[in-house]
Structures are given as structure tokens and as C-alpha cells.
Amino acid sequence: MKTIFLEHEEYILSRYRNILKKQGIETVDQLLYEYPSRYENFKVSSIKDAKLDEQIVLEGSIQSKVTVTYLKAKLSALNFLLEVEGQIIRATIFNRTFLKTKLDYGTVIRASGRFIKTMNNFTISELIFCDEIDKEIVPIYKTKDISEAKYIEIVDKTLRRYNDLVEESLPLEYLEKHNLIGSKLLMQYMHNPNSLLEVEIGKKRLKYEELLKYQVSMKYLHLKREQNHTSTPINYDQSLLDDLKSRLPYDLTSDQEKVINDILNDLKAPYVMNRLLQGEVGSGKTIVAVMAILAVVSGGFQAALMCPTEILSRQHFETLRSILEPYNLNIALLTGSTTAKVKKEIVTDLKNGKIQIIIGTHALFQKDVEYEKLGIVIADEEHRFGVRQRVLIRNKGEDVNYLKMSATPIPRTLSISAYGDMDISIIKEMPKNRKPVITEYVDNKNKAKVMKHIKEELKKKHQIYVVTPLINESESLDTANATEIYNNMVKYFKDQATVGLVHGRLPSYEKEQVMQDFLEKKIDILVATSVIEVGVNVVNATTILILGAERFGVATLHQLRGRVMRSDEQPYCFLLAEHKTEASEKRLKMLEYTTDGFELAEYDLINRGPGEFFGEKQSGSMNFKYADLKVDNELLLLANQDSEEIINKEEFFNNSEYQKLYEYAHNNYLLKMEKVD
């Protein structure tokens, strides 16, 4: 539809045009594509069918003066007599005093409500004025400073005048394939439905279109990356990689072998790698990263490994120095606590290429840090970095290969949405020497059993995590709760164990120090909120006790129990529920017999939504306007399958039926490039 401004439409009074303009609605298409937020069903029933305390819609006329009664603070009631099918009933509306001026003797209304206590007392929840709105299914729009009736009238007139000009945005082939309505009928069904079934038919089309556009745009980004042959292929030394593999004290799993092969193929390609590596705690992602780093360095490039915390950076630094010692490589560590003198040397040696491998925190992408020839950036626990940080580190080199690693199992539907423009590799197979965590759900009555187990583990010189309950209302309450539990633990284990405390409100350096002390076995029991540093390898920790476990999602609980899967010892996880319900007991018992993090992640996606995995602020791309990944995952899979097909069609680039899809994807690509620049 060509742009038609509402200011030229004589049927809309200037004051309404100004109100709409303030809400960002200035054109016909902006008005028509602003769909209702919900619908009220005002299909009238006979009063003969009414039952006590059951919702019903009645139509009648007001037969008395309307009075207002103030029952108490913030509670008022409008009262009047309503004639319905020749029968007089008493009607009440709570907290709608503004309606008094519109409710006159003889006014005909449709009212949705229920009879309370007797069949003569009707409490109204919603109503419409029949002389203003003559619809059974009434659309409710998000409007300000304009009545619902007037807004509906404007939309109806605009729709009648311009519906024939509405253009189809999806190819006919895919509408027919999924039995979806066209754009013109969609407008009718969404703005002026005859039934709730029509609304559902319209919503299905809207959701599919939204998901398809998103998926096509992600596939288009992937395609453009592969077409932009600006990256120098890395000719790595295979003999070095074979030598490293032969020196390992264990055999790589088949999943590790496959992922390494995928990464090596990416490095040989003339376009940049953009890959997500998912692997549960203890699955062996680190050695995959080491192989990738050695490959890049053997090809004459530098490698950077970015970590969210200093302690994890130091741990990776020690691990890489140990594994790569035979190859005489210059490996450096750069964090916020690196002294100015040492940092200056590191910055100089990075710029002139003397340092081949750099490991560190966000300090790696500070302005004064330059690289001679950066070939790969590996981000551990990538989702913990902000978007700006990710862009900055990638821009440190021209067309840098990028590998993101995450120990958080992500459901397939969510990874399609969040990482649709990336290649995804998964390590599911655990190393043969790893024992599965024995997980046990316990209630408060059996707490003594857990404390006895902890004492036995302490006698074996093993360490313990105690995770305190999550309190959504306030981080300060979380901290207070953690402090109380810490004090109780100190008293209970007096002369038996040293106890440490870490929580979100501690300064970063204090948090790092506590974790370092735990790592060095100076602390036997670590009491923590759910901020336990992800990925820190405390081999000696064999037991984790999670208090108030019912407050956490099962994916988070699975992630937390991964903290004790770092050694050959038998690990234990105890889930202690504070407030037992049938639903929470069912959820927690799932973890007793399910060790598949992806299965648990799917459960959390359906029950808790995408924010569970990335935090609400990180879940941006998953917040679709119409689709909901908690319930529309099958539709997403369909859209993903169709987008794969469409992106490989020539028609996508030169057929008018695909023009709007192509424009959407290409504009998204240009926007992404602009952000990176």
C-alpha cells in the first residue's frame, strides 16, 4: 500500500488526527497494522440460560436513576435497574464512576457479568453501549485520549475505504501450504471479526508471518556472511593438532571430534566463522577451544579467549599454559587487576605479534588494546557479555572468526530464535570417566540426612556448595537471606569446617577473592546466592545443597548441579524445598531421574519462558509481538523449515511475490551492518 496520510481523510476530525499522531499513527497503513490487543465476547445469551455465579452476556435497557455508593476507600459502586427480556434486575458496576454520565434512563447496553448470591443481583464486569458499538466480538485497542467506540469507528471506516489496497506480504505458495488467510482477509478478521474463531485464524497468520520474517532475515544474514569472501582462510598445521591429540591423557568423545572438525572447516573457509558451541558442564568444551586456538596460531594468527570473570580467566590461562607447554607459545593474561606496567608490555606485544594467545576479561577489548593479526575470538559463557562488548571484541581484527561457548543447554526452538544467524554445535556425550550426579529431592523433615552427608564429605576433605533461595522481590533480601544462612552454617560447623559467603552485592574483587579461596581449599563450605561463578573448575567440590529449590527453574537447577561434576569422585546434589506443593514436587523430582539438560531446558521454556535462559534483558529477540515461544514452538519450526527453503530459491531475489520478504531481510541486514560499523 502506498503511503496515505490520515491528515487528508475528511472523515477523521482534526482533534482525533492529532491524538493519533501523538501515538505514532499518521498513515493509513500504520492505523490498519495496529491490531487489537485483545477481544471481548459480547454475544448475547437469554436470561433464561443464566446460572448463579456463571459468566453471561445480557442485553437490556436502564430503567432507573443511576446511583453511586462509596463502600470504602478505593471501592465504589454504580447501581441501577436493568430490564432484560421484560424482567427487572439490579445491576452493579464496581469502580467505574466515570460511566455515570453515560448511563441514562432508557440507555441500551450489553453487559458481561454474573449473578451473585441471587438471580436478581447482576454484577457487571464489562459493558458496551449498543448505540455506539454494534458488534458481538469487540476489539480492544491500546489507545489513549480517545474512546474505544470512536477508535473502532475510525478503523472501520478506514478499513472499508482502503482494504482493497492492502498488499500481500507472503508468497501464495506458503499461504496455501499452511492453509493461511491472505492479508486482506487478515485485516477483516483482526479488526472486525464475526467470531473468536476468526480471531484465532487471523492470529495464526500473524504469528507465522512474524516468525517467517524473522527466520528469513536470520538465514539472509548467514547467507551474506558466506557470500562476503573477505576473510583470509587459515592454513593450520594438522600435524600439530594430531600431536596435541596424542598427548592427551584421554580419548576425545565423538561429539568433540565432530565439533573440532566443524571448526576447522570454518577456519579454512573464505568467510568468517560465527558458531555457537553448546555443551553441558564437564562435557569437554575447553579442549575443543584449545584445539581451535592451536589451529589458528599454527596458521600465523593470534587468538583471544574472553571470560566473564577474572578467576575463570586465570583458570583458563593456567589450563592453556599446561596443555600447550610443548609448543613454546607466548600466552598472556589480561584482566582488570593487571598492573599498569604489565598491561603496557602486553599491549605492546599484542600489537607487534609477540603474544600469540591472550586470555582475559572485558579488558581484551579496551580502546588501547590492538592486535597485529587477530584470527579468532572465543567467548566463554558468551550470553553474559553485553551486545556492545561482543561487537567491540570482534572489531579488534578484520573479519575475525567468532566462537561462542555456553554451558547452558538451550532448547532447539530457542536456539533457532536467538541464534538463527549462527552455526550451532552441540556436545552431549560426556567423558567416560565422569559419574552422573546423584540428585535427591528432600523436604525440611529430612534436612538432618543432608547435614549428615555433608559431614561425611568434609571428613573426606571434599568441599561443599550451599545455594540460598532466590527471592524475586529484592536483591537485598537475597543477600540478607544468604547472610543468615551463612551465620547458621558457621555455628553448625564450628571447629569442623571453614565457611565462606558470596552474593551479588559483594564488590567484584571481594567475590573473586572468596571464589579463589574456595578454589585453593581455604574454604570448605561456600554459601552463595545463584551468582556462583559459571564455569569455575573446583574439582574438589563434590556436593551441592540448593535451599528453596522450588524457587528456581529446572534448567537453572541443572546448571547449578553442574558445579560438582568436575572430578572422578561421585557428585551429589540435594534439592531442599521450603514450600512443598504438588507442582513443585513434580518439577524437582524430574531432576532425580533426568540428566539431559536439553530436556529440562525444553520444560523450562514451556513453563517459564525464554527469560529463564538469558535473563529478561538478554532475551530481546525472543520477545515477539504476536508469537510466544512457550506455546508456538511448532509454528516456529515450520517457519524455520520454510525459511531454509525460501533463502535457497532464486524467486526470493527476483520474484515480486517474495519482494516484501526480501526487503524485510535486506533492510535488517543493512541495520545490523550499521550497528557493527
Tens of pLDDT, residues 63-76: 999 999 999 888 99
In this prediction, residue 611 carries a pLDDT of 58
Give residue 207's Cα distance to chain centre.
18
- Cell numbers found for residue 173: 505458495
- Give the pairing of strands 463-467 and 541-547: parallel
- Taking residues 580-588, report their average pLDDT: 85
The burial of 39, by beta-carbon neighbours within 10 Å (0-12 exposed, 13-18 middle, 19 or more buried), is given as middle
In this prediction, residue 617 carries a pLDDT of 40
Q: Strand, coil or helix: what is 404?
A: strand
In this prediction, residue 555 carries a pLDDT of 82
Query: Which DSSP symbol is given to 270?
Result: S
pLDDT: which is higher, 661 or 629 = 661
- Taking residues 215-220, report their average pLDDT: 93
- Taking residues 656-676, report their average pLDDT: 87
- Taking residues 513-524, report their average pLDDT: 91
In this prediction, residue 633 carries a pLDDT of 83
pLDDT exceeds 90 at position 415: no
Residue 82, Cβ neighbours under 10 Å: how many?
22
- Give the pairing of strands 438-443 and 67-72: unpaired
**pLDDT level of residue 472 (50, 70, 90 thresholds):** low
Is the CATH number 3.30.365.10 carried by domain 251-268+284-406? no
Angular region, 521: left φ>0, alpha ψ -120 to 50, beta rest: left
Residue with cell 476489539: 139
In this prediction, residue 515 carries a pLDDT of 87
pLDDT exceeds 90 at position 453: yes
- Taking residues 421-434, report their average pLDDT: 83
- Taking residues 18-34, report their average pLDDT: 94
Q: Check: CB of residue 281 under 8 Å from CB of residue 354.
A: no
Q: Of 182-191, 473-482, 630-639, where does mean pLDDT reach its minimum? A: 473-482
In this prediction, residue 299 carries a pLDDT of 95
Angle between helix axes 14-22 and 148-162 (nearest 10 degrees) is 100
Residue with cell 427480556: 85
Cα within 13 Å of Cα(115), Cβ side: 14
pLDDT exceeds 60 at position 615: no
**pLDDT level of residue 387 (50, 70, 90 thresholds):** very low
- Taking residues 314-324, report their average pLDDT: 93
**pLDDT level of residue 367 (50, 70, 90 thresholds):** confident
Tell me which H or E stretch contains 670: helix 659-676
In this prediction, residue 281 carries a pLDDT of 76
438-594 fold = Rossmann fold (3.40.50)
Q: Check: CB of residue 361 under 8 Å from CB of residue 337.
A: no
Rg from Cα positions in the chain:
31
pLDDT exceeds 80 at position 419: no
Q: In angstroms, rounded to a whole number, what is the distance separating the alpha carbons of residues 119 and 50?
A: 8
- Cell numbers found for residue 162: 482502503
**pLDDT level of residue 229 (50, 70, 90 thresholds):** confident
In this prediction, residue 432 carries a pLDDT of 77
In this prediction, residue 158 carries a pLDDT of 95
In this prediction, residue 232 carries a pLDDT of 87
pLDDT exceeds 90 at position 395: no
Residue-wise burial string across 484-493, b where 16 or more C-beta atoms lie within 10 A, e elsewhere: ebbeebbeeb
- Taking residues 420-431, report their average pLDDT: 85
In this prediction, residue 471 carries a pLDDT of 62
Is the CATH number 1.10.3720.10 carried by domain 43-129? no
Average pLDDT over all residues of the chain: 88
pLDDT exceeds 80 at position 495: yes
**pLDDT level of residue 598 (50, 70, 90 thresholds):** confident
Instruction: List, in sequence order, every beta strand (DSSP E) within 85-176.
Output: 87-94, 108-115, 121-129, 137-140
pTM of the model: 0.79
In this prediction, residue 610 carries a pLDDT of 65
Q: In angstroms, rounded to a whole number, what is the distance separating the alpha carbons of residues 405 and 413?
A: 18
**pLDDT level of residue 310 (50, 70, 90 thresholds):** confident
Q: Check: CB of residue 270 under 8 Å from CB of residue 345.
A: no
**pLDDT level of residue 618 (50, 70, 90 thresholds):** very low
Domain extents in the chain = 43-129, 251-268+284-406, 438-594
pLDDT exceeds 70 at position 428: yes
In this prediction, residue 451 carries a pLDDT of 93
pLDDT: which is higher, 262 or 380 = 262
pLDDT: which is higher, 121 or 470 = 121
- Taking residues 172-201, report their average pLDDT: 96
pLDDT exceeds 50 at position 667: yes
Tell me which H or E stretch contains 159: helix 148-162
Q: Strand, coil or helix: what is 15?
A: helix
Q: In angstroms, rounded to a whole number, what is the distance separating the alpha carbons of residues 123 and 341?
A: 76
In this prediction, residue 566 carries a pLDDT of 76
Angle at Cα 88 formed by Cα 84 and Cα 92, nearest 5°?
A: 90
Whose CA is closest to 628, among 614, 599, 608? 608
pLDDT: which is higher, 45 or 512 = 45
| Domain 251-268+284-406 matches domain 438-594 at the CATH topology level | yes
pLDDT exceeds 70 at position 153: yes
- Taking residues 19-44, report their average pLDDT: 94
| Residue 461 dihedral angles phi and psi, to the nearest 5° | 70, 25
**pLDDT level of residue 531 (50, 70, 90 thresholds):** low
pLDDT exceeds 60 at position 394: no
